[in-house]
Amino acid sequence: MKAPNERPLEPELRLPVLLRNDLLTPNMLRLLMHIESHGPCTRDQIDSAFHEYASKELYYRLEVLRLLSLVSIQVDPENSAVAVITVHPDYKAARMGQQHRLEPKSTGTFARPLKPTSELADALHAHDTHKVP
């Protein structure tokens, strides 16, 4: 039997944090973009903005984003019923650092950051359990 720290990371967690959002469904990406653009949000604010989803489904979606280290959820110590959802600090730092890698389009807008095509495949198929990219 393996000790818990001897188990390899899930392939999704081996990916650099900026590549993890490529794994999201369009609705999950929409939720992440909402949190990014609106700053810290309470669960009530997210429930209002995404009223088409049941509360349990939003909980699941937020947990997936949290487990991928894309958002952070902080519970108010004075009121455990209130949680504040923000962009995860690691994801935010990575997003801030990517700005120098953007290529301008001829329209004056910016393209999505360039990434090596093999980086995603290499991270998903890495067999070395002792190194984390």
User: In this predicted model, what pLDDT tens digit does every residue of 53-95 receive, in sequence order?
Assistant: 998 999 999 999 998 999 999 887 887 778 899 999 988 888 8
Taking alpha carbons only, the member of 98, 28, 86 closest to residue 58 is: 28
Query: DSSP letter string over 6-69?
Result: GSPPPHHHHS-HHHHGGGS-HHHHHHHHHHHHH-SEEHHHHHHHTTTS-HHHHHHHHHHHHHTT
Model confidence, pTM? 0.65
Residue at token pair 């962009």: 87
User: In this predicted model, what pLDDT tens digit does every residue of 4-25 receive, in sequence order?
Assistant: 555 566 777 777 888 888 888 9
Residues 6+ apart with CB under 8 A from 83: 42, 43, 73, 74, 75, 76
Query: Nearest 5 degrees, angle CA 82-CA 64-CA 39?
Result: 50
Q: Which of the pair, 91 or 116, is modelled with greater confidence?
A: 91
**Residue-level pLDDT at 35:** 94
